[in-house]
């Protein structure tokens, strides 16, 4: 057993007065963790958040329940907090790792084909159609929340650098990149439709209604639901489904979770990890459907 772990277990027994059964459970989780670190040739003092997340994921792949995963995280949080108190490290690398959420159902999302059909629907020859096209393309390109879409201001768009400056939940600012197609329709909307909608008035917000005022949450909902009905997915299409689709398709294409977390504005990466389960579930369905030796066949 690592010398730091031994001192930590003594601390739990003497200073915190934990029961022997609790201390044994802590010891078992730490032994697994040290074995994992040894295989990676990483010292416990130098283990960072990504290494610890890899360990938690590795344990989850073994079929451990969410309560077991939560216990592992709790043990490591306490252990590294102890190392901070002992002045062995400056910051706790586990402090930002959240406990796994209990998802009753996986988030709904669209297939790439469904998204493609949806994005083709707006009539860009009309001012409202061009606005709708810009909204849909931008939402799918960035994964913005509906509140972030309606509150987007002109000053927050950086076309040359291809990113948006977004003020998200808790007034936390983040930088979100967007692609050429979204940029193309956003520019067209700003140069054509938006000027017509303003009718000589001024407004700082990007997306406007037919009266030239800031588009409301309800307005965006109506736009998205209307197009969803036309393409036959109205029953499952919401603004948040577009956000889920953005993240799921990135995971399926191999994007790393930390980058997706930053783009979505999640406080903890554990929230973002749900999309790996969606991708995994989809792969299983494809296997069951097409593999000749699938058990379901």
Q: Which residues are catalytic?
A: 145, 169, 240, 243, 266, 275
Q: Are 199 and 213 in contact (CB under 8 A)?
A: no
Neighbouring residues of 285: CB distance < 8 A, sequence distance ≥ 6: none
Q: What contacts 24+ positions apart, CB below 8 Å, involve 284-292?
A: none
Are the CB atoms for 149 and 186 separated by under 8 Å? no
Length of the chain as a residue count: 297
Does residue 233 sit in helix, strand or coil?
A: coil
Q: Can you spell out the DSSP letters for 37-105? A: HHHHT--GGG--HHHHHHHHHHHHHTT--HHHHHHHHHHHHHHHHHHHHTTS-SS-TTTTPPPPP--SS
């Amino acid at each position: 057993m690592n010398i730091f772990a031994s001192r930590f277990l003594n601390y739990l027994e003497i200073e915190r007065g934990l029961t022997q059964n609790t201390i044994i459970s802590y010891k078992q989780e730490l032994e697994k963790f040290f074995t994992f670190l040894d295989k990676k040739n990483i010292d416990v003092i130098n283990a960072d958040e990504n290494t610890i997340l890899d360990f938690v994921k590795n344990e989850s792949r073994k079929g451990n329940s969410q309560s077991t995963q939560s216990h592992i995280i709790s043990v490591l949080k306490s252990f590294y907090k102890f190392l901070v108190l002992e002045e062995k490290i400056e910051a706790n690398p586990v402090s930002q790792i959240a406990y796994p959420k209990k998802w009753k159902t996986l988030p709904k999302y669209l297939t790439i084909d469904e998204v493609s059909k949806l994005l083709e629907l707006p009539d860009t020859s009309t001012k409202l159609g061009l606005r709708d096209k810009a909204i849909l393309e931008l939402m799918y390109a960035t994964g913005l929340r509906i509140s972030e879409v309606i509150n987007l201001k002109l000053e927050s768009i950086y076309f040359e650098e291809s990113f948006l400056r977004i003020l998200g939940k808790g007034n936390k600012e983040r930088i979100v990149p967007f692609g050429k197609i979204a940029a193309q329709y956003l520019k067209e909307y700003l140069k054509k439709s938006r000027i017509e909608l303003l009718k000589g008035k001024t407004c700082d917000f990007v997306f406007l209604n037919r009266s030239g005022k800031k588009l409301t949450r309800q307005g965006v909902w109506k736009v998205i639901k209307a197009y969803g009905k036309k393409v036959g997915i109205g029953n499952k299409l919401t603004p948040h489904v577009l956000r889920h689709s953005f993240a799921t398709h990135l995971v399926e294409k191999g994007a790393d979770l930390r980058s997706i977390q930053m783009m979505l504005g999640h406080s903890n990466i554990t929230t973002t990890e749900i999309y790996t389960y969606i991708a995994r579930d989809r792969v299983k369905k494809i296997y069951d459907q097409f593999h000749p030796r699938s058990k379901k066949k």
